[in-house]
Amino acid sequence: MKNSISSLYVHIPFCNKICSYCDFCKIYYDKKYIDKYLDTLEFELKNKYKSEILNTIYIGGGTPSTLSINELEKLFIILSKCKLNKNYEYTIEVNADSLSYEKLDLFKKYKINRISIGIESINKDNLLFMNRELDKEKLIKLINYSNKIGISNINADLIYALICENMDILKKDLEFICSLNIKHISTYSLEINKNTIIGNMNLKPIDEDIDYDMYKYICDYLKNNGFIHYEISNFCKFGYESCHNLVYWNNENYYGIGLGASSYINNKRIDNTRSLNKYFNLEFVKNVEILDKNSIIMYEIMLNLRKCCGISLDKFYKKYNKQLYDMYDYSDLVNRNLLIEEKGNLYIPEDKLYIQNNIILMFLNAIKE
């Protein structure tokens, strides 16, 4: 099955500090690597990208805003070879400590129209635990300036269920984040992964009941403050869903370039190397998974059910030439209110999203053929 590609992910792995929970592909910022990294990125882009018109570009990391003005300009000039659709979305991830008015002006000059800010928490103990810093005053000024120059599509990331966290801390974090002039909020419950600083500390995650209470509180709080819950962990003001992330959840194709980046191209999931040496030697690919039709459909179900609107049965039929209900007997899940079928969509009700993994598993086990 050949599909068109209209999204590009670009990974910039450099960070000034390493957060205690971080499992992403990242390395300390070191000026001596940057030029070579950007040259290699340009080479990879030229070899992959076939001049398609892109709806979305997402520069993630790492922390792309750690690059200097000159380094960022070099990156944006490389990416300006990409053709953008009229209604494009072009995002860059930033941290308040490495962002500046000058960098925001540069984003504007190179057509970036969305920023995603890692805030995570405003609580001092939480920040200490995460090995992060946050200057709230600076952050507020930067957000105001971004809005002023017309980059008003702004996301903030929030992490909750930290070991030292309680409901009061979470409430204050939410109050602060909702006081900002932003359009989108992504929330993540802390995960303790191996090979992270906290993963080596033998810490126990927060009690599951507390984690659930926090999740529920976040959903209610954000909805009461004008945000729409549109994906298990994501909330936005009307019309401000992340177009780039929707490409992932809709199981559509995308290019990924840079260290550790992933692509999904014509039924192949391709993961890039996380070794900077290999990357510099142009050995980009670490792993290729060729998906058969069953696996593609499994991903289609798993990813689409993350969204509050779930799976469009009509789109599913158009994509696979099969009715979902002919392939899976999900009537029992509907009878038990674990799934709702309504107006041509099949979705997990919001109050059950927290247990979506279990529901998806039951769904996949109900295969008919």
Binding site for ligand SF4 (CB under 6 A): 15, 18-19, 22, 24, 26, 61-63, 118
Complex with ligand SF4: residue 22 or 259, whichever CB lies closer: 22
- Tokens read off for 258: 């840079």
- Tokens read off for 128: 């200490």
Complex with ligand SF4: residue 24 or 320, whichever CB lies closer: 24
Complex with ligand SF4: residue 22 or 348, whichever CB lies closer: 22
Query: Measured between alpha carbons, how far is 14 from 26 in angstroms, rounded to an integer?
Result: 6
Q: How far is CA 53 from its chain centroid?
A: 22
Q: How far is the CB of 184 from ligand SF4 (least distance, A)?
A: 17
Q: How far is the CB of 27 from ligand SF4 (least distance, A)?
A: 9
Q: How far is the CB of 107 from ligand SF4 (least distance, A)?
A: 18
Query: Measured between alpha carbons, how far is 81 from 51 in angstroms, rounded to an integer?
Result: 8
Q: What are phi and psi of 62, to 5 degrees?
A: 55, -165
- Tokens read off for 202: 């033998």
Q: How far is the CB of 118 from ligand SF4 (least distance, A)?
A: 6
Query: Measured between alpha carbons, how far is 110 from 131 in angstroms, rounded to an integer?
Result: 32
Q: How far is the CB of 232 from ligand SF4 (least distance, A)?
A: 20
Among candidate residues 49, 57, 58, 55, the one with its CA nearest the CA of residue 86: 55
Which stretches within 180-284 are classed as H helix? 208-224, 243-249, 276-280
Complex with ligand SF4: residue 214 or 259, whichever CB lies closer: 259
Complex with ligand SF4: residue 10 or 311, whichever CB lies closer: 10
Complex with ligand SF4: residue 5 or 259, whichever CB lies closer: 259
Query: Measured between alpha carbons, how far is 229 from 159 in angstroms, rounded to an integer?
Result: 17
Q: How far is the CB of 333 from ligand SF4 (least distance, A)?
A: 35
